[in-house]
Amino acid sequence: MKRSAFLMSALAFGYAFLYAPIVLLVTWSFNESRVANIWGGFSTKWYGELWDNSEFLDAAWLSLQVAATSATAALGLGTLAALALVRFGRFHGRGLFSGLLAAPLVMPEVILGLALLLLFVALEDLIGWPDGRGFSTIVIAHTTVGLAYATVVIRSRLAQMDRSLEEAAMDLGARPVKVFLVITLPVIAPSLAAAWLLAFTLSLDDVVVASFVTGPGASTLPIEVFSAVRLGVSPQVNALGTLIVAVVAVIIVTGWWLAGRRAR
Phi, psi values for residue 116, rounded to 5° = -65, -40
Residue whose C-alpha is closest to residue 145's, from 227, 204, 97, 95: 204
Q: What is the dihedral of CA 97, 99, 104, 106, to 10 degrees?
A: 170
Among 32, 96, 78, which residue's Cα sits nearest to residue 238?
Answer: 32
**Confidence (pLDDT) at 2:** 53
What string of pLDDT tens digits covers the 264 residues of the chain?
Answer: 456 788 888 889 999 999 999 999 999 999 988 877 778 889 999 999 999 999 999 999 999 999 999 999 999 999 999 999 998 878 888 889 999 999 999 999 999 999 999 999 999 999 988 888 999 999 999 999 999 999 999 999 999 998 888 889 888 888 988 999 999 999 999 999 999 999 999 999 999 999 999 988 889 999 999 888 877 777 889 999 999 999 989 988 988 887 777 766
User: Who's near 83: CB < 8 A, 6+ residues apart?
Assistant: 158
The DSSP secondary structure of 151-173, one letter per residue, reads HHHHHHHHHHS-THHHHHHHHTT
Instruction: Look at residue 1 in the predicted model and tell me its pLDDT.
Output: 47
Going along the chain from its start, the domains and CATH numbers come out as 54-235 (1.10.3720.10)
